[in-house]
Every structure is written in C-alpha cells, then in structure tokens.
Amino acid sequence: MGLDNPIHIAFLLILLLLVFGAKRLPEMGRSLGDGMRGFKDALSGQGTPLPADAASTAGATPTLTVQVVQPVAPVAAQAAQPLAAVQAPAQPLEQVPAA
C-alpha cells in the first residue's frame, strides 16, 4: 500500500499536474533542487562564489554599533489607601440586583 506501486505514483503526478498546472511544476522542481543544494552546501561548509556586486563589498569591514542600556531600579508600588482603610461592600455580590 505504499508508493512502490507505479499506479500510485502516476496518480500522484496527475494530481500534482491538476493542482499546480504544467507551467508551475518545473519552477517548483527547480526551486526545490536549489534549496536542497544550498542546504547541502551549508552543511558541508562549501560555499558558492559570490556574485560580482556582492564580491566588491565582501572585503569591507562591517561596523557594529552597540547601545548600552542601564538597568532601572525597581520602584515599589504604593497603594492609594492602606489596606486597613478599605471597606467591605455593603451587600455581598450575590445579593446585588442585576442592572
């Protein structure tokens, strides 16, 4: 029941052709191959040569700007009224009539 049956592979290819169209399939295959090739090159440490416009800026020394932020001392929140001055509601919440 796997993809070892040629009829299953043909069915999938026809389905892909119907969904994406004949024009889009070669583009998708090409971009998938480029992505796999780039991934393999990145894993192996090999790099592709830089284009001419990127090669001219490759020798430039990049500058790094670091901004130092001083930490702020935490400020204790002060209540408007002391907790002892807070009064309980006149009626319990269950007995308050709904508006």
| DSSP string of 43-64, one letter each residue | HHT--PPPPHHHHHHHTSPPP-
The answer to whether position 33 is within a domain reads yes
- Domain count for the chain, please give it: 1
Taking the whole predicted model, whether its pTM rises above 0.75 is answered as no
The answer to whether position 39 is within a domain reads yes
- 86 touches 79 (CB < 8 A): no
pLDDT of residue 45: 76
The answer to whether position 26 is within a domain reads yes
Is the pLDDT assigned to residue 2 strictly greater than 90?
no
The answer to whether position 55 is within a domain reads no
Q: What residue numbers bound the domain in which 30 lies? A: 22-48
pLDDT 10s digits, 31-63: 999 999 999 988 887 765 556 555 555 556 667
Q: Label residue 8 left, alpha or beta by phi (over 0 means left) and psi (-120 to 50 means alpha).
A: alpha
The answer to whether position 2 is within a domain reads no
The answer to whether position 83 is within a domain reads no
pLDDT of residue 89: 64
